[in-house]
Structure 1
């Protein structure tokens, strides 16, 4: 659908129509996930803005699907809470704040109108800015603010179609000019990824509002596959087949069709746009449902699933998960619990079997799997916190994209939480050296924070796209050496990159080099690097550990 060719006038929308908008927006963000990921400024494999925004929104829509509320305001509240619990990474956290503002604007509203949507967009920008300690222009915040300003300008517009068209047009223009406001975007030749994701979300809302015929099948494909509610699970046990189909050319009213077909089963959903009906029903007689539908038009997109087989398979998978959880509780390795009742505890986030074992061995009570391109959600962190037998807990994010999610946890639990903002694994390990389980929460976390300034982190990874940064020409597949997040070395060999980077990192008073070896590094390459480091730095202590981390051939600490 071309949004430049809109002539449909809409004054208000009900909850079912609002749900449709959200489902379509989620699908559009999923389709654009890699496009948004590829807008990452640096060519390193951490471009997960699109993934984090999609996962955050999909969790929010999952909550929306579970409610039967008949007010848009309540639906928006469920959306906001789902986004908060599902927020991942910086972009996901900001999106959750935007959705919180949207919900605030729709509070107590029965239907969606221009007035409450406008209020929501304006509050969205305000809340998002408040959530960021040092707002930077040229980012999603700028896009949200300019959209809010446009919404305020449109106070005399009462047609949702016209309003949303102009909002999406403003979003597109705001995103296009982000490189003019932020030099690093201009240098990398990209627009802001978060801003682009927000634009796609808003465009998805508009397309979901209009839902033309040629898009109908795409819009509803999978719209019932975002999760199973308790009611749906009970229905699966009662009825044998999940039956879906589209009736083309239907002239019947939705309520009339719904009332007549309802006798054949339950979990009934019937949605109409123009002359198309999308039907979903759990029934023991799918043939009768199809025969009923064909009385009103031509059938297409017929899908019949045996829910008994699906149900038993899900039970089997859940049993396996339960068994695994029980096993890890009895053997507190790989991200599970040390149940000793210390006064103070640590939750650490990292990925890689070796790194998880290291944090476990040096005193972390719970090690949550997560890190680069694998950011845990707010709910993941909360679940970990609740499994720790301590009321005072320190969180070590160990990744810059996990810090903002960790901060959200503080207001969602009765336990006392402090965040030590570790951006790397070496920072997290250094912080653990200052951990005192018998100490006082704020004093211990302060001691751990002070240790971070003495740690230098190096990372050896690979380029995921061609670019030019700070006069360095980088081609896809090049090996990159990063010191504290900045690209310092570009070569074609990961051992050479490590040697060059360490040479750049070492200073006069340093005496210790620590290497954490990644899962893709060969034993031969590891031994070769050790030999060269021992030869080049004979007076240094050298420690080498198997980290098992993905993405990074080596993680390096110099102290």
Structure 2
């Protein structure tokens, strides 16, 4: 890859989440300071997952915009000191690529150097042998790389980061005592390796051992140290967000000073656009929050007691498969939910970001989408492309009506392979004829003549086939439409009743079918559609 673009950034972010998820337990295990609370891997994973979710919810087409979305998501969802530092690494990458459509090797060099500056500035007392040492080594290696090619720069940076990681026990005594490398530094190497794999296309080698050879680890309860993560003197970690404060504002500087008086591990870092994450280890939770109130309006306040922290963290995908149905009408939405689908009710303006958020929120590895409206095709295609680029397996079953989506959902079977299930659903949808009874809103020329505003229209597979002047005889036109739909055969007629459907229309259809088509079954449901009186399907 000669240049990093927005799609590659999505692939990298997804690879980071998957790799951190796979390495989380080991990263937590080697997290031995300030107290052996074992949460660095969990915090990095949570922060990177927040960054990825923000990217997937933001329509982007440039590398600068993609990295900015990652940085803002990481800052808003930062967990722990390691998460705060990660947010600043991503911010540095974003600032260096601001306004650029793609990033070259030279751009990556500048980005790593800026990330090094911001991450170091985020820590009140930088200490050698931590993630900062690993990042600095990677940035300096990129700066001194003889080549400007993107793959050469990232390869050199990742290699230098790994070498610096191996050296951390010689820089920080507590690591040597525990027989491990720095957990935050190891997490950064995971991210650099993932970036190198995306850019070069080469599989990342197996990571080196976390433990030093021949070393007998010291019991975890004996490991404490004074470093940028704080000391064991303080019992709580307090974090919150502040809005609308520019860089260098006196309120932010005063907040930093106030927090240093009540605790340590103080980090007050921003995204360059007015959003700030505040982090402190302390014993007086109220004082930490009051300091934020003096600076602005704290929100999303979280407090963690180190003794109670749990390292367990759910993976990105919590289930194998999900069905997403795009449904209009309250009754229809409830019908699809009762069949196990995740329902999205489109409004007047639906964006790709809206649809992508629904797909991502399922947290399913494989997602099948049933669109009930062909007008959503363009934003849906864009959303699916972004989800697939980020690692989700998404398939859209061609359905042009709610009744076709219902027919597809009816044959869904979780016991089948995902591909076979999608084929079966597509076949069921294609075998369902779709009809609609609606009131004309304007004068128009149709295949069967001119219609006027207020005329009753019967449509079959998207084309007007019946016109009834006025809108009085809904039952009569509906019966004629059903007869036409059954002309080529059918066993089941499904009817969704719109908001304006006349009372008793389902009984009119039932009586007609009992006489004209006694072999056909009728299923009628309240649909609640705004535009159609009836939506009809024949299987």
TM-score grouping bracket, smaller chain normalisation:
0.3 to 0.5
Larger Rg: 2
Given the two structures, how large is their TM-score scaled by the length of structure 1? 0.40
Given the two structures, how large is their TM-score scaled by the length of structure 2? 0.41
